[in-house]
């Protein structure tokens, strides 16, 4: 029997989702570019995730590009009634695999239609506008124009809910003056904690926070403290890092990605991992030491 339900739930727009979800980015080829080496294995991971109780999948049509959305459609359509698929727009891929801003009204509109077509949907549950003022982290800049384009697509019924990604607190406030923001997706994990105050503020508003790179992304988390805690609680370091995130705030929705069924099962088993208070205190110190370094 699935244990994912033990992670709890939180509202994402009009739907309630389990706090342990799945991120599809790693299903594309190396560098999130091109097709996977083993497409059948990728399909199997998606089916296993949903069969295990995952009802929140994060994706984007610029993963591949088009690759992950086409895999999701092939693996899961017809989609379960409780499944929420969240996608992102605001970027495109160069022929060399580079990540480039795609913020014009034409590019944003085409991106929504690309996501609809490749996912095989009439409307997208949640679309995150991915700010590209800073590619490797949030940077200030007005999001009024691109967000207005997205709200117009929402009025046309192509998008149900809107979120933001890679944004600052000021951009979130600007966004709230234009439309309802149901989630924020930023870089956050045990060692990268610039959004601590923002997470608490969003929790007070009932807004979901979805950390990307929850396990470090292209530079996996490494810490002797993390390894020591994992040994004490009988889990892997990555399981402990995910469990810490679940405990961090009630509005935290996790989307760890993997192309391996074994790793998927390890990630989802975190729903049953209860960290003792002393372990949490030790883990909290990792970010402090990282800043000092």
3-class DSSP state of 152:
helix
The one catalytic residue in 63, 79, 188, 209 is 63
Cβ atoms of 267 and 222 closer than 8 Å:
no
CB-neighbour burial class of residue 11 (10 A; exposed 0-12, middle 13-18, buried 19+):
middle
Distance CA 272, CA 250 (A): 16
Distance CA 189, CA 284 (A): 11
Cα separation of the two ends of the chain: 44
Cβ atoms of 79 and 85 closer than 8 Å:
yes
Q: Which long-range contacts (CB under 8 A, 24 or more apart) does 112-116 make?
A: 112/150, 112/153, 112/158, 112/159, 113/158, 114/61, 114/66, 114/69, 115/60, 115/61, 115/69, 115/87, 115/89, 116/158
**Phi, psi dihedrals of residue 154, rounded to the nearest 5°:** -65, -45
Encoded tokens for 237: 């370091």
> Is 188 marked active-site?
no
Other Cβ atoms less than 10 A from the Cβ of 106: the count is 9
- Give residue 185's Cα distance to chain centre: 6
Encoded tokens for 273: 């991992």
94: which residues sit within 8 A by CB, 6+ positions away? Answer: 100
3-class DSSP state of 44:
helix
The catalytic residues are 63
């Amino acid at each position: 029997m699935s244990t994912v339900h033990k992670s709890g739930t939180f509202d994402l727009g009009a739907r309630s989702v389990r706090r342990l979800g799945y991120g599809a980015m790693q299903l594309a080829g190396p560098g999130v570019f091109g097709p996977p080496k083993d497409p059948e294995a990728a399909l199997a991971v998606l089916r296993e995730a949903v069969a295990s109780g995952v009802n929140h999948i994060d994706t984007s049509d610029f993963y591949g590009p088009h690759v992950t959305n086409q895999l999701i459609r092939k693996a899961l359509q017809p989609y379960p009634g409780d499944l929420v698929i969240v996608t992102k727009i605001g970027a495109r891929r160069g022929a060399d695999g580079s990540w480039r801003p795609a913020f014009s009204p034409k590019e944003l509109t085409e991106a929504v239609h690309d996501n609809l077509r490749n996912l095989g949907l009439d409307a997208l549950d949640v679309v995150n506008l991915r700010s590209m003022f800073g590619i490797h982290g949030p940077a200030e800049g007005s999001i009024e124009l691109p967000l207005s384009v997205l709200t117009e697509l929402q009025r046309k019924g192509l998008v149900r809910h809107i979120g933001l990604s890679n944004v600052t607190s000021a951009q979130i406030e600007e966004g709230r003056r234009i439309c309802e923001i149901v989630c924020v997706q930023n870089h956050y994990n045990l060692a990268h904690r610039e959004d601590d105050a923002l997470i608490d503020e969003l929790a007070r508003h009932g807004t979901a926070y979805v950390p990307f790179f929850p396990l470090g992304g292209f530079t996996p988390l490494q810490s002797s403290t993390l390894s020591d805690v994992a040994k004490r609680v009988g889990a892997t370091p990555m399981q402990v890092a995910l469990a810490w995130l679940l405990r961090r705030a009630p509005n935290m929705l996790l989307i760890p990605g993997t192309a391996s069924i074994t790793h998927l099962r390890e990630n989802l088993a975190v729903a049953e991992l209860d960290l003792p208070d002393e372990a949490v205190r030790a883990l909290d110190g990792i970010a402090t030491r990282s800043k000092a370094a």
